[in-house]
């Protein structure tokens, strides 16, 4: 058969398919569904007989849309690396600190071809938008993105057994090569009209490392060993039947380096950071969705957990309510207790409905196993305010106290800020730090040169002056508190004396009344 004859046959086949499609569309539009639906399988068989191509769809989200498809992400990277030279419409993303400032990716409704061992394949990218013309009371869904792969059916085995594995492996290799860590934050829900995407992100470029962290060298090395051991313990966690995750509680006064330590942990392990703002989470269901939508090799952070939500006092509130009921049974102070209870409820009303139970399940429940190689970090300035169930071992596996600056911490800061390992003023600084409480953040601020050309000794002297001022301020504060305590004790003593006098007068009056009632003169 000549090329002209083959072209003529192909044209006839295409015309026949087009006619069938048109006829079926007209039939479907003008005849009732009861008549159309039974004919669908037969029409599909007829179409498959003339149409020799197979089409595979890869959706961005698997199942009900909780988790982003790993296959879709790998295909996206593979096509981005191979589509810039073919696609007519491209999307440009500006990326910093890379060999190329602009990264080109294939736009929606675009098609590119690929060749694999002599097999020609067609990739297409498209976006399906939901119908938003009608009014609906259900949450609005985002646009659904998909990749489509088309190939001739005679290449089915080559594509399904070899080509798809090749694409996924290449996509994963590109991801490892081009991996750039990100800092995520959860998107605030507006009460019902929210989309599928739960996190937004920026590039994570925090420079903190454990070398620059002002803490005891032994504790620092212990933490580093613990983190590295966790990252290499996939098989061990599977063996003992636990989810591959680890919790860290960082506590201490403000300015002691809790946030800096989180950045150092992420930089050490090359993990992404998910900064979870609990006050922006609508309820426990959304909290679970956020957890599922986090990737592996990540640090999930909830800073100032004692301030994020009123989770710490829930059990105490329940206890107070039980005590209030007991008081009501005795008929004592009913109205006063009701007013107090109303005030407490008004003060504790929050827009978020996340509960302590939901947070515990997020950390250590069934949903916590949806994912792997994940670190969860809580920070707090007041560890005593936290519910014991929230920070017990198994949830927060390691408790790390970050306290005021020690001389060892100062030496790390002096090395970082002034490039100094010893100086005659170090002895004075050491004595002052032993007598005065100052956070590493305040020490670092005083060591930092304030003007160009400022010498190192001036910076040390400024720190010593700041320590002396802090010491004097602490002394004055202690004296003031002592005086206030003394005045309070004197007032209480005067009040007790007055009550005793009133008691004596009352007893005398009772005796006199008793004598008079009995007729004794």
Q: What is the pLDDT of residues 233-248, one digit of tens each?
A: 999 999 998 889 999 9
Query: Is the predicted pLDDT of residue 327 greater than 60, yes or no?
Result: no
Q: Can you give the C-alpha Rg of the chain in angstroms?
A: 35
Query: Is the predicted pLDDT of residue 155 greater than 70, yes or no?
Result: yes
Q: Helix, strand or coil for residue 378?
A: strand
Beta bridge partners of 301: 275, 377
Q: Which residue has the higher pLDDT, 327 or 337?
A: 337
Model confidence at 316, pLDDT cuts 50, 70, 90, reads: very low
The confidence score (pLDDT) of residue 300 equals 94
- As a whole number, mean pLDDT of residues 342-350 equals 51
Mean pLDDT of the residues in the chain: 78
The confidence score (pLDDT) of residue 246 equals 93
The confidence score (pLDDT) of residue 293 equals 85
Cα dihedral value 242, 248, 249, 251, nearest 10: 170
- As a whole number, mean pLDDT of residues 327-356 equals 57
- As a whole number, mean pLDDT of residues 319-324 equals 49
Find the range with the poorest average confidence among 105-109, 273-277, 359-363: 105-109
Are the C-beta atoms of 185 and 277 separated by less than 8 Å? yes
The confidence score (pLDDT) of residue 44 equals 64
**How far is the C-alpha of 206 from the C-alpha of 222, rounded, in Å?**
22
Q: What is the pLDDT of residues 415-470, one digit of tens each?
A: 999 999 999 999 999 999 999 999 999 999 999 998 888 889 999 999 999 999 99
Are the C-beta atoms of 83 and 50 separated by less than 8 Å? no
Q: What is the pLDDT of residues 194-231, one digit of tens each?
A: 456 788 989 898 999 999 898 888 999 999 999 999 99
Residue 282: count other Cβ atoms within 10 Å of its Cβ.
18
Q: In what order do the strands lie in the sheet with 144-152?
A: 53-59, 144-152, 119-128, 110-116
The confidence score (pLDDT) of residue 258 equals 93
* 185-309+355-401 under CATH 3.40.50.300, yes or no: yes
Counting beta carbons within 10 angstroms of the beta carbon of residue 108, is it exposed (0 to 12), middle (13 to 18) or buried (19 or more)?
middle
Query: Is the predicted pLDDT of residue 393 greater than 60, yes or no?
Result: yes
The confidence score (pLDDT) of residue 313 equals 46
Helix (H) or strand (E) holding 318, with range, is helix 314-330
Model confidence at 132, pLDDT cuts 50, 70, 90, reads: low
**How far is the C-alpha of 395 from the C-alpha of 382, rounded, in Å?**
18
The confidence score (pLDDT) of residue 140 equals 43
Q: Which residue has the higher pLDDT, 348 or 401?
A: 401
Query: Is the predicted pLDDT of residue 510 greater than 70, yes or no?
Result: no
The confidence score (pLDDT) of residue 224 equals 96
Q: Which residue has the higher pLDDT, 59 or 81?
A: 59
Half-sphere exposure of 495 (CA within 13 A, CB side): 6
**How far is the C-alpha of 471 from the C-alpha of 464, rounded, in Å?**
10
Strands (E), 241-387: 245-251, 272-275, 298-302, 374-380
- As a whole number, mean pLDDT of residues 98-107 equals 60
Residues contacting residue 327 through CB under 8 Å, at least 6 positions apart: 333, 334, 337
- Can you tell me which residue has the tokens 């803490």? 215
Model confidence at 9, pLDDT cuts 50, 70, 90, reads: low
Query: Residue 296 has which token pair?
Result: 């592996």
The confidence score (pLDDT) of residue 197 equals 73
Are the C-beta atoms of 74 and 168 separated by less than 8 Å? yes
Q: Which residue has the higher pLDDT, 137 or 147?
A: 147
Query: Is the predicted pLDDT of residue 319 greater than 80, yes or no?
Result: no
pTM: predicted TM-score of the whole model, two decimal places: 0.69
- What one-character DSSP code corresponds to residue 114? E
């Amino acid at each position: 058969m000549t090329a002209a004859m083959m072209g003529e046959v192909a044209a006839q086949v295409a015309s026949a398919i087009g006619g069938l499609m048109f006829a079926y569309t007209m039939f479907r539009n003008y005849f009732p569904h009861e008549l159309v639906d039974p004919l669908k399988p037969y029409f599909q068989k007829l179409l498959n007989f003339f149409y020799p191509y197979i089409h595979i769809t890869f959706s961005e989200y698997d199942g009900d849309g909780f988790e982003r498809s790993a296959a879709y992400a790998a295909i996206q990277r593979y096509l981005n690396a191979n589509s810039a030279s073919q696609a007519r419409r491209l999307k440009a993303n500006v990326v910093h600190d890379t060999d190329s400032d602009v990264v080109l990716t294939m736009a929606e409704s675009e098609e590119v071809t690929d060749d694999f061992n002599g097999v020609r394949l067609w990739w297409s990218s498209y976006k399906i938008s939901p119908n938003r013309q009608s009014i609906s009371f259900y949450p609005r869904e985002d646009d659904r993105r998909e990749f489509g792969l088309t190939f001739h059916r005679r290449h089915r085995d080559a594509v399904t057994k070899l080509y798809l594995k090749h694409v996924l492996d290449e996509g994963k290799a590109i991801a490892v090569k081009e991996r750039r860590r990100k800092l995520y934050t959860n998107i605030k829900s507006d009460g019902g009209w929210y989309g599928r995407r739960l996190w937004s992100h920026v590039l994570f470029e925090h420079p903190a490392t454990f070398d620059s962290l002002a803490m005891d060298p032994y504790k620092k090395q212990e933490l580093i060993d613990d983190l590295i051991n966790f990252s290499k313990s996939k098989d061990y966690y599977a063996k003992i039947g636990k989810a591959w995750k680890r919790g860290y509680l960082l506590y201490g006064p403000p300015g002691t380096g809790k946030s800096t330590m989180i950045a150092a942990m992420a930089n050490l392990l090359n993990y992404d950071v998910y900064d979870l703002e609990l006050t922006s989470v609508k309820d426990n269901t959304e909290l679970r969705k956020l957890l599922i939508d986090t990737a592996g090799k990540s640090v999930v952070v909830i800073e100032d957990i004692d301030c994020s939500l009123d989770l710490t006092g829930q059990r105490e509130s329940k206890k107070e309510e039980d005590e209030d009921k007991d008081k009501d049974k005795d008929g004592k102070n009913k109205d006063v207790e009701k007013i107090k209870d109303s005030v407490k409820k008004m003060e504790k009303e929050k827009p978020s409905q996340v509960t302590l139970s939901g947070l515990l399940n997020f950390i250590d429940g069934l949903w916590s196993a949806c994912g792997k190689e994940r670190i969860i970090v809580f920070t707090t300035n007041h560890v005593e305010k936290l519910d014991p169930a929230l920070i017990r071992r198994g949830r927060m596996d390691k408790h790390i106290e970050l306290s005021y600056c020690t001389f060892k911490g100062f030496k790390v800061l002096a090395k970082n800020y002034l490039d100094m390992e010893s100086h005659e003023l170090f002895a004075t600084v050491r004595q002052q730090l032993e007598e005065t409480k100052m956070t590493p953040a305040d020490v670092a601020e005083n060591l930092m040169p304030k003007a160009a050309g400022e010498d190192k000794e001036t910076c040390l002297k400024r720190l010593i002056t700041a320590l002396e001022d802090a010491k004097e301020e602490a002394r004055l504060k202690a004296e003031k508190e002592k005086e206030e305590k003394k005045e309070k004790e004197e007032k209480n003593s005067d009040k007790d004396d007055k009550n005793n006098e009133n008691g004596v007068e009352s007893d005398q009056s009772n005796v006199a009344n008793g004598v008079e009632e009995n007729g004794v003169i």
